[in-house]
Amino acid sequence: MDPRSIAPTSLGVRAAAAVAGGLRSRWADATAANPDHSRWYVERFRALAASGADLVGEARLVDAMAPRGATILDAGCGPGRHAGHLHRAGHTVVGVDLDPILLEAAEADDPGPTYVVGDLAAVELPAEGPQRFDLILCAGNVLTFLHPGTRRPVLARFAGWLAEGGRAVVGFGLARGYAQADFEADAAAAGLAVEQRWSTWDLRPFSASSEFLVAVLTASAPATAPAGADAG
């Protein structure tokens, strides 16, 4: 069955293309190798939340950067902790993730945002929702889970999804197979400029010895909406 033909479920999760051009993500590889991986991941973060762990530092940063009532895309939203926090802060939030099990958990634990199942390189956003965003959040090492062949196309989609003056904030470990130089070359080719770099989500300075990168990106050329999307 073509995943684009699946109707929205009672949970409100919308279906979109799950694999871009036959290039399967590393997350898809992990769940194929271990069918229980997604549910383990959900329960791991539920346990951390129950223990009082701070799980929304990334979302707090994005909230501080955003105007009130902003449109925000959580790219690779997982079980929804950041999307839910941003929704409760008064923003219009769309969360996209490849894994329907994670989005089922998001709808259960953090309802309110629009959750969309799909590969970031191919997903079609719901026509009735925002097509441009003041902020895009891409946390949780999402970029390193993408197939290397889809990283640049995904970054190009970020550039197209940004509203005028919008910013994308991405974070990932630099020992996870995506070097800083490669990332910044991909971003430039995708029409994004690196505005700021930090080594943590609480804004510690970035240096040559940093093991983690948080980058703020802006569109380096007039944004063009992804194919099939209307500006708005």
The predicted structure's pLDDT at residue 70: 98
Domains, the chain: 3-219 (3.40.50.150)
| pLDDT over 80 (residue 1) | no
The predicted structure's pLDDT at residue 54: 96
CA distances (Å), origin 48, targets 54, 78, 81, 137: 8, 15, 12, 21
Q: What residue ranges in 145-191 does DSSP mark as E strands?
A: 162-173
| pLDDT over 80 (residue 129) | yes
Enter the tokens of residue 207: 């240096």
> Over pLDDT 90: what percentage of the chain?
84
Amino acid at 187: A
Residue, of 81 and 223, whose pLDDT is higher: 81
Enter the tokens of residue 63: 């909230």
Q: In which band, very low, low, confident or very high, does the pLDDT at 102 lie, cut at 50, 70 and 90?
A: very high
Q: In which band, very low, low, confident or very high, does the pLDDT at 231 lie, cut at 50, 70 and 90?
A: very low
Q: In which band, very low, low, confident or very high, does the pLDDT at 22 lie, cut at 50, 70 and 90?
A: confident
The mean per-residue pLDDT over the stretch 17-34 comes to 77
> How crowded is residue 211: how many other Cβ atoms within 10 Å of its Cβ?
10
| pLDDT over 80 (residue 68) | yes
Whole-angstrom Cα distance, residue 118 to residue 168? 19
40-46 long-range contacts (CB < 8 A, ≥24 apart) are: 41/78, 41/79, 41/102, 42/79, 42/101, 42/102, 42/105, 45/78, 45/79, 45/81, 46/79, 46/105, 46/109
Mean pLDDT in the chain?
88
| pLDDT over 60 (residue 93) | yes
